[in-house]
Chains A and B, each alone.
Chain A
Amino acid sequence: MALLRYAEALNAALREEMVRDPNVFLFGEDIGTYGGVFKVTRGLLEEFGAMRVRDTPISEQTLAAMAVSAAMTGTRPVLEIMYSDFMALTIDALVNQASIYEYIWAGQVRLPFVLRTQGGGGVGAAAQHSKSLDVFLTHIPGLKVVAPATPADAKGLLKSAIRDPSPVVFLEHKSLYNLRDDVPDGEHLVEIGKAVTARAGTDVSIFATSRMVHESLSAAAVLETGGISAEVVDLRTLRPLDLAAIKASVAKTNHAVVVNEGWRFCGYTAELSATIMDHAFDDLDAPVERVAQLDMPIPYSEPLEAVVIPTAEKIVAAARRALA
């Protein structure tokens, strides 16, 4: 066990997998000489050389298509897209290539690549560098999408993603990179598609991923002072969903709050809320409460940004509405 930052845990996962499997290689903008803008790939160029840690030009559309092609040839590429905002440029490769080739060629081709990116707000990075476009990716059948909240899960999920035979989009969060916590040494794998109870409770279930798990935990602490016992479920994987965990928690608390940092309209909270209705309707004692980003660009001003993105206060209010 070591006390590592989230970025260091990711770095450890990359290093361990590159040592374990010579087919694993990294490419992306500024990941080599510069070590990545968030220092996730620091030291890897020096350790593994320029064949396996490649700096590329700014051309996300090409990079995504390269990841697909390289995976088809039998390697295990790990592509970094610097900001999830620019995932918009990769969508064609994901929706028209990566997600369907295994299907249309009847499994003769596998696409074991990982596309890492980071998104989210809360640091004053404004409208073009703060987006949470989770649903652009979770909408596509054939893609797995994970979004770890802790350093240990960051390591365990990234190792699992690299070993997965199919495309995995790995969503990191810019404001989590400095989060420090215990991380198991060596072979630590977290199964994709498995949620974890971040805090147990009995009155209301709060479902979240990534940074929103921490906002939800803060909310749960506030709710506790008012005598409300909130359970926080860290979904960890956005797709495929851990339906069993969701059903078990709602069956226990009968009240659900769903949280996602992305936009509300047609957003991830809409899918979660509908899923809970589909599978746990008779366990609900109140409508599912949603906490999501306001449907507008993220303002540069930090006080205004706090109004737009989900916060612990908004989660507290939603939990109280559910329990009214």
Chain B
Amino acid sequence: MAEAIRVAGAVGEYMDSVTVLEWRAKPGDAVEAGQIVVVFETAKAATEVAASRSGVLTKIFASPGDEVKIGATLGLIGDSAADTTEAGPASEPPRAGAGMAAPRRAAPAGHAARSGRIVASPLARRTARARDVDLRAIRGTGPNGRIKRRDVERAAKGGRPSPSGVPARGQGSLNLLRSGPACDTPVVFIHGFGADTNAWRWTVPHLERDHGIVLVDLPCHGASPAHPINDVIDLAREVSQALRDAGIRAAHLVGHSLGGATALALPELGGVRLASLCLIAPAGLGPDIDGAFVAGFLRATGVESLEPWLRRLVADPARLPPGFAEASMALRADPALRDAQRMLADTLFPDGTQRFDLRGALGRLQVPAKIVWGLADSVIPWRHALASPGHVGLHLLPNVGHLPHLEAPELLARLVRELIRAAA
């Protein structure tokens, strides 16, 4: 049985909550009785909490910055890393900080990130009542997953969620999701082939507190419109136009795989000024790509056939989050979307070959740039990175596959932060 680390009542004579400042140990660390494990702030001072026993810190319930009630359980110390059952009187764990564990957009439709409560604008609620729409069945496209009127009206018409960020005007605009503080030069994330904005849910929480974030759905992906694409430059042109339409004239670009190639091609169009560039296992630096993966991934119409291919994306399939295959398949449920992606793959990767070559663009970069590549990537060989010129930093990650943003999100966020600083 694990023992709870609590906010002792004595500190709180004048208050009913405190703010967690810092954890001095990580989950899985061994701790000694008497060792300081966590520091929180009361009205008067920072208060240190020592471990009440020796063991292993097995759980943390409140992150730095979270406000917790007096008496709440901050974490658990158990005999082993697996010992997470709390001894003694059950106590409700404090609500975790939104940025910590919760995905930015809840995978199941409906509920905005934090809890079971439905987050919807007053107008969306009124509209839902008037049109007899169940808000629980709707995925919100507003900030923090908030359901807005457009989501209710789309649901009332039976449509899928689509562009947000700017009001939908015609069919042309790509889906952009914005978060974090407003700024002139946001960090723009462009996902890889077959993915969508959800790809960044593990990385973005580490960045959105300090930086404006924009997530883009490429054409034929996510909630963006689908239409024939002839070349990577077409993708770049559409992303560039969508950013300009949203008032974005300068950006730090982060692109994965096909999104990396798009990011590399985009600044040469001149519409959006590039501040820094982070390429994650980018396409466009050599001819090889795992054609069997692309074909198999596109063929899959159910979880059973999709999951084996998803496992190939990462160095250690155990690192795929629970429900990852189900959520991925749900996002690919629309046959029209899969058809559009198949056509895109036929155009860009004919016969298992990357048709386009962006090494020249890499050589012409004038801003801080990094390439991040997993040494266990089996979709695009990391050796393509060696084609890069000397001014581009290489970060080659052992035991990481094709998805560093899922497999090493904290490291990736740190590298992006370093790029932003270098560009300042």
CB <8 Å contact, B166 and A283: no
Identify which of A222, A283, A286 contacts B142 (C-beta below 8 A).
A286
Contact digits for A238-282, partner B, Cβ 8 Å, 1 yes 0 no: 000000000000000010000000000000000000000000011
Interface stretch of the complex, out of B18-26, B121-129, B263-271, B367-375: B121-129
Contacts known (A286-B142, A317-B182); A324 close to B121, Cβ less than 8 A: no
Identify which of A203, A222, A282 contacts B167 (C-beta below 8 A).
A203
CB <8 Å contact, A285 and B123: yes
Q: Which residues of chain A from 21 to 77 have any CB-CB distance to chain B below 8 Å in the complex?
A: none
Contacts known (A222-B247, A324-B178); A282 close to B122, Cβ less than 8 A: yes
Closest Cβ–Cβ distance, residue B401 to chain A (whole Å): 33
Closest Cβ–Cβ distance, residue A127 to chain B (whole Å): 26
CB <8 Å contact, A284 and B123: yes
Which residues on B sit within 8 Å (CB–CB) of A316? Answer: 247
Which residues on B sit within 8 Å (CB–CB) of A283? Answer: 122-123
CB <8 Å contact, B169 and A286: no
CB <8 Å contact, A254 and B167: no
Which residues on B sit within 8 Å (CB–CB) of A303? Answer: none
Which residues on B sit within 8 Å (CB–CB) of A323? Answer: 165-167
Which residues on A sit within 8 Å (CB–CB) of B246? Answer: 226, 320
For residue B164, CB closer than 8 A to chain A, the reply is: yes
Contact digits for B153-175, partner A, Cβ 8 Å, 1 yes 0 no: 00000000000111101000100
Which residues on A sit within 8 Å (CB–CB) of B146? Answer: 286
CB <8 Å contact, A285 and B124: yes
For residue B148, CB closer than 8 A to chain A, the reply is: yes
Main secondary structure on chain B at its contact with chain A?
Answer: loop
For residue B16, CB closer than 8 A to chain A, the reply is: no
Which residues on A sit within 8 Å (CB–CB) of B126? Answer: 282
Q: How far is the CA of A282 from the CA of B126 in the complex (A)?
A: 7
Contact digits for B334-370, partner A, Cβ 8 Å, 1 yes 0 no: 0000000000000000000000000000000000000
CB <8 Å contact, B165 and A324: yes
For residue A228, CB closer than 8 A to chain B, the reply is: yes
Which residues on A sit within 8 Å (CB–CB) of B245? Answer: 226-227
Contacts known (A226-B247, A282-B123, A285-B121); A321 close to B167, Cβ less than 8 A: no
CB <8 Å contact, B148 and A228: no
Which residues on B sit within 8 Å (CB–CB) of A254? Answer: 123, 149
- Count residues of chain A with CB under 8 A from any CB of chain B: 18
Instruction: Report, as a range, how many residues of chain B touch the other chain.
Output: 20 to 34
Q: How far is the CA of A281 from the CA of B126 in the complex (A)?
A: 10
Q: How far is the CA of A254 from the CA of B143 in the complex (A)?
A: 16
Q: Which residues of chain A from 287 to 324 have any CB-CB distance to chain B below 8 Å in the complex?
A: 316-317, 320-321, 323-324
Q: Which residues of chain B from 210 to 259 have any CB-CB distance to chain A below 8 Å in the complex?
A: 245-247
Contacts known (A227-B245, A284-B121, A286-B121); A324 close to B164, Cβ less than 8 A: yes
CB <8 Å contact, B182 and A321: yes
For residue B183, which residue of chain A has the nearest CB? Answer: A317
Which residues on A sit within 8 Å (CB–CB) of B167? Answer: 203, 227-228, 323
Q: How far is the CA of A62 from the CA of B146 in the complex (A)?
A: 55
CB <8 Å contact, B149 and A285: yes
Q: How far is the CA of A222 from the CA of B247 in the complex (A)?
A: 9
Q: How far is the CA of A247 from the CA of B315 in the complex (A)?
A: 57
Q: How far is the CA of A323 from the CA of B247 in the complex (A)?
A: 13
Closest Cβ–Cβ distance, residue A323 to chain B (whole Å): 6
For residue A316, which residue of chain B has the nearest CB? Answer: B247
Contacts known (A228-B166, A324-B178); A284 close to B247, Cβ less than 8 A: no
For residue A250, which residue of chain B has the nearest CB? Answer: B123
Contacts known (A282-B123, A285-B124); A324 close to B142, Cβ less than 8 A: yes
Which residues on A sit within 8 Å (CB–CB) of B166? Answer: 226-228, 320, 323
Which residues on A sit within 8 Å (CB–CB) of B182? Answer: 317, 320-321
Which residues on B sit within 8 Å (CB–CB) of A222? Answer: 247
Which residues on B sit within 8 Å (CB–CB) of A284? Answer: 121-123
Q: How far is the CA of A321 from the CA of B179 in the complex (A)?
A: 9
Q: How far is the CA of A217 from the CA of B330 in the complex (A)?
A: 44
CB <8 Å contact, B148 and A286: yes
Q: How far is the CA of A282 from the CA of B330 in the complex (A)?
A: 33
Which residues on A sit within 8 Å (CB–CB) of B165? Answer: 320, 323-324
Closest Cβ–Cβ distance, residue A131 to chain B (whole Å): 25
CB <8 Å contact, B169 and A227: yes
Q: How far is the CA of A324 from the CA of B182 in the complex (A)?
A: 11
CB <8 Å contact, A281 and B122: yes
Contacts known (A228-B166, A285-B149); A324 close to B143, Cβ less than 8 A: yes
Which residues on A sit within 8 Å (CB–CB) of B125? Answer: 282
Closest Cβ–Cβ distance, residue B204 to chain A (whole Å): 15
Q: Which residues of chain B from 124 to 142 have any CB-CB distance to chain A below 8 Å in the complex?
A: 124-126, 142
Which residues on B sit within 8 Å (CB–CB) of A320? Answer: 165-166, 178, 182, 246-247
CB <8 Å contact, B169 and A285: no
Which residues on A sit within 8 Å (CB–CB) of B164? Answer: 324
Closest Cβ–Cβ distance, residue A237 to chain B (whole Å): 27
Which residues on A sit within 8 Å (CB–CB) of B123? Answer: 254, 282-285
Centre residue among B124, B246, B247 by max chain A CB count within 10 A: B247
Q: How far is the CA of A233 from the CA of B411 in the complex (A)?
A: 48
Closest Cβ–Cβ distance, residue A79 to chain B (whole Å): 41
Which residues on B sit within 8 Å (CB–CB) of A228? Answer: 166-167
Centre residue among A222, A282, A321 by max chain B CB count within 10 A: A282
For residue A320, which residue of chain B has the nearest CB? Answer: B247
Which residues on A sit within 8 Å (CB–CB) of B142? Answer: 286, 324
Q: Which residues of B contact A (CB under 8 A)?
A: 121-126, 142-143, 146, 148-149, 164-167, 169, 173, 178, 182, 245-247
Write 20 A-B pairs (CB below 8 A) sorted by A numbering.
Answer: A222-B247, A226-B247, A227-B166, A227-B167, A227-B173, A228-B167, A282-B122, A282-B123, A283-B123, A284-B121, A285-B123, A285-B148, A285-B149, A286-B121, A286-B146, A286-B148, A320-B165, A320-B247, A323-B165, A324-B143
For the complex of A and B, the 7 pairs showing the least CB-CB separation, nearest first, are A285-B123, A285-B121, A317-B182, A227-B169, A282-B126, A285-B149, A282-B122
Q: Which residues of A contact B (CB under 8 A)?
A: 203, 222, 226-228, 254, 281-286, 316-317, 320-321, 323-324
